[in-house]
Structures are given as C-alpha cells and as structure tokens.
Amino acid sequence: MTLDSYVSLGRSGLRVSPFCLGAMNFGEDGGAGCDAAESERILRAYLERGGNFVDTANFYTNGHSEKIIGDFLAGRPALRDRIVLATKFFGNLHVGDPNGGGAGRKAVIAQLDASLRRLGTDHVDLYWLHNHDRHTPVEETLRALDDLVTAGKIRYVGFSDTPAWFTAQAHTMALLRGWTPVTALQMEYSLLERTIEGELIPLAQATGMAMLPWSPLKSGFLSGRYTRGGGIPEGTRRSAVLGEPSEEQYRVIDVLGAVAEEAGASPAAVALAWVQGRPGVTSTLVGPRSVAHLEANLAGLDVRLTEQQRAALDEVSAPALNFPADLNRQVGAMLQFAGATVDGERTAVYPPLAHSSVRY
C-alpha cells in the first residue's frame, strides 16, 4: 500500500490517503513540537510520497500549526486544491472569553474565520467539532455548520472525541432536517486503547461514517522505544506527563515486539498496520515531529500481518467494553439463532434449550 492508494471518506465523494498527516506537532508553542522549517520538510516529504490529507486544529500550538500550513501553501498556490485540508473548532484561544470556544453559532463562525486567516485559504475541506459541547443545543451547532457548507467555507463535517449517543443524535437530526450530516469520526484508537469498539466503531459502520484513529502509537508507548525494564527513554518529551507503561500495557508491548521481529518490521510500523487493518478504519493519523519519524511511520504501509500475527495482537490487547457490548456479542447470536448456521458461522445453542426434550 502507498499514500496514493486513496480511500473514500465514508459515504462521501472525498478521497483521502490511508495515512493522514496530523499537524499537532507543527510549531514550538507549548514546547512539544518542531520548528517551522522541520514542519515544512515533513509536509513536503508527505506530499512527495503521494499523500493528500492534512489535519490540524485551531488550538494546536496556539494557532501556530495552522499558520505554518498556511505559509507553506502560500508559496505553492496550485497545491491548495490538490490536498484535503482539515481543521477543528472548539478550543478557546482567548482567556476569559466565554464565547471564544465551544460549539455555539458565534464561536463556530469566529473560530472558522480565524482558522481561514491562519491557513491562508477561503475554505477547509473537512471541519471537525473537536469535543462534545454539553452547554450548547446540538441543533444550533448543526445549523451553523450547514450554513457554512452553504456559504462554501467548509465542505464536510466531522466529529472528534464525541460520545456515541451524542454523535448518533446529531447525525440523525441532520439527516431528518436536511442539514449536512456527519461524514467522519476522529477517535483515539490503538492496541492500547480499543474501547471505541463497543459503541463508536459500530456506529461508524452502521451509518457509513469514516473512522480516523488518532494516537495509534499511544503517545509513543507502541513506538518500540519502551521495553520492559528499560524505563522511560531519554528525550521522550511527554514522559513527564505519561510516565511509564503499566504492567498490562507492557504485556501488549511484549507481544508487539515479538510480532515485529517475526514480521521483520519495527514495532511502530506493525502497530500502525494493525490499526489501519481494523474493521471500520478509513485513514489513520500520524503526527511526526521530524522527517525521520514520518518515514518510520510510513513504513507501516508496507507491513502485511499474517492471520496468526493479527490474532496474537488481537488477543493480548482485547479490551473490556462497557455493558452491554460483551453481552450482545457473546450471547446475542446464541439466543437469536439457536445453533443454526448463519452467514457461514455456526452458532451455539442456549444450554437449557440443548437439554430440553420439549419441541413445539
């Protein structure tokens, strides 16, 4: 697979690369990113490999991420229409201003205008709600976004880090009222964070929404730099916040390392290949801080895991899901089909029924 092996963004006419370039680390505001020169080198390397999908947010490095992308595109005006440019709203950059962030109409419009100025463009292709705003009626947000689509300032709408119930409510309301629906979801997903399999991935699959995992390497835990007994690697910028993986996480990291050795690839490449190959996943976000990090991540496009290797990773990372996900999965088919073979799979028989002599 290559970056120019494009995929459809959910039920839309938009085609994107299988790995999306996340620009959270563009800019040094906040102390965890890279400077403008390295950010531009990352952008250039990604695009030269055939990538077309760039994702940022209004508050990444206090707006500097958007400005870096805007400056890069300003020197290449013909490139703007060739890429899919996404940004997000919700984060408040104005201390003390209650309308500076969130998903109210005033905030949405002001945040978009500010993002467009920094990006140096008159529209974004995908505009994400970055979090659930429990203080604003969902219909206000949806109508504001639909108005922006009508005005030509955004093309598609996405939701990031929102609860499944809220996302389903918003999407259904948009469809019923003829407003722009939710095209894509951006959620944390990795071998160390799989709980979206309970509600959010099934929602995306049922509605045709694209699913874009963020933090597929769990903030570096799955990069190969963390090994049991090795402590916190030197130069790990988020180590002061994240600390060291737990014993449960190390069990996953151990199996990942073994599979990577068997596959002849790095743990990071294997972890990315696992995520991108999961049911419902459309495009996986990578957030490099250097060209070397980008190249290491793109190696995940070349990894082909065997069924046995996937099974080993699936088993060791199996999540505990909220009720009733496990009950539905484990008991549902048994109660529904009572031992019949359906879609090529033979189901179990509910035990009391199996030992009953009563036939009606």
> Which residues are catalytic, by number?
60
- Which amino acid does the sequence have at 113? D
Region of 63 on the Ramachandran plot (φ > 0 left; ψ -120 to 50 alpha; else beta): left
Give the pair of three-digit tokens for residue 330.
């484990």
- In angstroms, rounded to a whole number, what is the distance separating the alpha carbons of residues 139 and 147? 12
- In angstroms, rounded to a whole number, what is the distance separating the alpha carbons of residues 82 and 60? 23
Angle value at C-alpha 215, between 327 and 287, nearest 5 degrees: 160
